[in-house]
Structure 1
Amino acid sequence: MDDAAAVEAANARFYTAFETGDLDLMHEVWADGDYAEGVTCVHPGWALLRGRGEVLRSWALIMANTAYIQFVLTGVHTEVRGDYAILTCEENILTADKDEEGFLAGGSVVTTKVFVRDEGQWRLWVHHGSPVLDGMRDDGSD
């Protein structure tokens, strides 16, 4: 597997962890060791979170309060530079509320992720998600 494919596989593990609420897998996805202090995450609409512990606590909270979520990724672009990689994509999201039977909501978020190769494994180091406003086209105009 080439580096770009390996980064995309690591990215897929991130979404599998989120969709299945697998906190153990989410822990495996994120960088640790020398990179732990620099782990950074911006959830759509949230303030910046810094440090592996703070970021993983946020995922535990989100996953505990998400009854159902599914992602369809589009526009995936991966660029690898040595031991670092940047992956950008659009998340097309379906989610449901456990309190309202049959309720589904959707939306889109654009994400930028930085992966780092640590001991031969690609691990997520930085994640930033921004919501896409309704009616916005790919070129940024409305």
Structure 2
Amino acid sequence: MEETKGSILNGMHFLCAEDNDLNAEILRSMLDLKGASCVICSNGKQVVEAFEESEPDQYDAVLMDVQMPVTNGYEASRRIRTSRRPFGKTIPIIAMTANAFSEDVNRSLKAGMDTHVSKPIDLELLEKELWRLKKSNNYQGANG
């Protein structure tokens, strides 16, 4: 597919937190257009559990909706960062939220997330943020 050429998303596998079924389906379709795949969890507790059960290279990054039921995205991110799984300290966690004020961005960063993208998700911005993370943190992801 032409859409996937040159995209950092091509070949990536995401663990996603999204509690709205329509938004989850849109996210899955958008990632698919770029050659990426995802597992979507409908609450923060499920995201943490899926992460705990994953292999070190199973997911390239976590897309975390911050307003999640059961366990919100901030707490889920903190739990991933303090997980018994060593790769929890390094896996990129990207906040997804309609709240894009500077205090929301700061709250995401304080919870251990690496960056923040507004919803509805803009794939170009997501790609730019992943490239930025790759350059700044020696993050490898699916495309080395």
Q: Which has the larger radius of gyration?
A: 1
Which range, TM-score by smaller chain?
under 0.3
User: TM-score of the superposition, structure 1-length normalised?
Assistant: 0.25
* Structure with the higher helix share, 1 or 2: 2
* Structure with the higher strand share, 1 or 2: 1
User: TM-score of the superposition, structure 2-length normalised?
Assistant: 0.24
